[in-house]
Structure 1
């Protein structure tokens, strides 16, 4: 296993890459480049979505590169934030949904690989009880491991960032890990993308609480819960999660 110092080095290189992309954004009349940052609130989110929409009309490839790089950066290093909602506002639901699902799986797999090569001993050192708990669950469900991994994403026993980092320690094969994230987080990604698409049309937070918006959000959540109900039904007969 390599030194843990490779992780901050990878973080630094990735951050420099994003900075280079941001300062070389093509010129666009009337655009406010100060909005080009990870959003911390609703106003930042709408400003960033508006900026990228303006650039997208003439610089689609560059905006796609910038968006994918930022998304993978946040997923790889488990950085929280509301940036995920920009995808729906920027590309629309049916383009953003498969893109977000793929980028989520790729970013999580990068996190998995960083942990596998540079961080396994540290995860075991700082989270021994969680690792032991998850190891027992994986061992108990080895005969239906893929369905158990899906269950963990739909009904997490631990945060997703911890599952990403701990999976190499649990001897979860990388191909099963990738597929379980791709499929298991589809409901979550669908909710975020569709919500982001809706929020891009709202000018203030007061617009979220209208009857029409509330009904739409309820419908989105209902559709997204269907895969979870299916896996939960499967759990009753095949998975050991108690």
Structure 2
């Protein structure tokens, strides 16, 4: 019971921090007045003339994503530090507590910070957030996870023991070709005795292709203004290049797994049942 109260306290504190951060938006960037037809100054209100905390919410679809990206890009012109802190805090909140929807934040990273900074942010935050989830599970959640998912934990434990000789590559395989959702792997890793170092590195490397695709999608969404732009030859070639780059590491890991890893079809089917769960 003490572990449950501890977890509730951590979630409550993190929620209050994130809520407070979102409520104290700085003033929007000022725009210089424009001249009207008679040469007099005419003050035109920017699209976001005042802070609107209610607009800051986790995106649930592409329309919310576009609106939030536009709002944060507006504030980023003069308040880069605040936007960065808010984005990192929101990302770590979702990832640490295994809340669905981190893919939208990866796309948002590309739209706001660009392809290189966005990818670096997505990879670092995914890794740090997953590690925080690992530590929270280790401290507060072991008993509850085993109680809620006994068969899944047991099967994962068996596979970890069978692949002890090449455990790191087995973890990479799970990230590239998940037999179980990432959120479950993050929470169950300390229960099945996966070392934190292996876990940390496998998340950073294993989710790199996924983060790359999401960030590049965000970059494209921030640049296109119509479907014609999206389906231009330049965009289609860019999508093809992204697909090739992201599939290459997976192909290498799959080739390695056939020779060295003990992963059978029955295990994949047994753990994949949770894959559809958000």
TM-score, scaled to structure 2: 0.82
SS at match of 2:27: coil
Of 195, 200, 205, 1:183 maps to 205
Q: Which residues of structure 2 form unaligned runs of 5+?
A: 31-45, 265-278
CA 1:45–1:208: 2 relative to 1, 3 Å: farther
- How big is each residue's C-alpha offset from its partner over 1:112-143, in whole Å with a ceiling of 9 and x where there is no partner? 11111111011111111111111111001001
Q: Please say if residues 208 and 214 of structure 1, whose CA atoms lie closer than 8 Å, have aligned partners that are also in contact.
A: no
Structure 1 residue 93 and structure 2 residue 115: aligned?
Answer: yes
* 2:9 counterpart residue number: 9
SS at match of 1:79: coil
| Structure 1 residue aligned with 2:216 | 194
Deviation above 4 Å: which 4+ runs of structure 1?
206-209
Equivalent residues of 2:224, 2:230 under 8 A apart:
no
1:114 aligns to 2:132 (yes or no):
no
Q: In structure 2, how many angstroms separate the alpha carbons of the residues matched to 1:194 and 1:76?
A: 24
Larger Cα-atom Rg: 2
How do 1:1-242 residues align onto structure 2 when only pairs under 5 Å count?
2-28=2-28, 29=30, 30=46, 31=48, 33=52, 34-81=54-101, 82-203=104-225, 206=227, 210-212=231-233, 213-242=235-264
Q: CA–CA distance in 2 between the matches of 1:230 and 1:41?
A: 33
Gaps of 5+ in 1: none
Give yes or no for contact 2:107–2:214 (8 Å, CA) kept in 1.
yes
Deviates more, 1:224-233 or 1:25-34: 25-34
Distance 2:5 2:218 in 1: 36
CA contact (8 A) 1:18 1:70 kept: yes
Quote the Cα distance in structure 2 between the aligned partners of 1:44 and 1:133: 39
Deviation at 1:218, TM superposition (A): 3.2
Q: Give the aligned CA root-mean-square deviation in angstroms.
A: 1.7
Structure 2 CA distance for aligned equivalents of residues 143 and 208 of structure 1: 49
Higher relative contact order (CA 8 A, sep 6+): 1
Structure 2 vs 1, CA of residues 70 and 208 (structure 1 numbering), >3 Å: closer, same or farther?
A: farther
SS at structure 1 position matched to 2:159: helix
Q: Structure 1-normalised TM-score?
A: 0.94
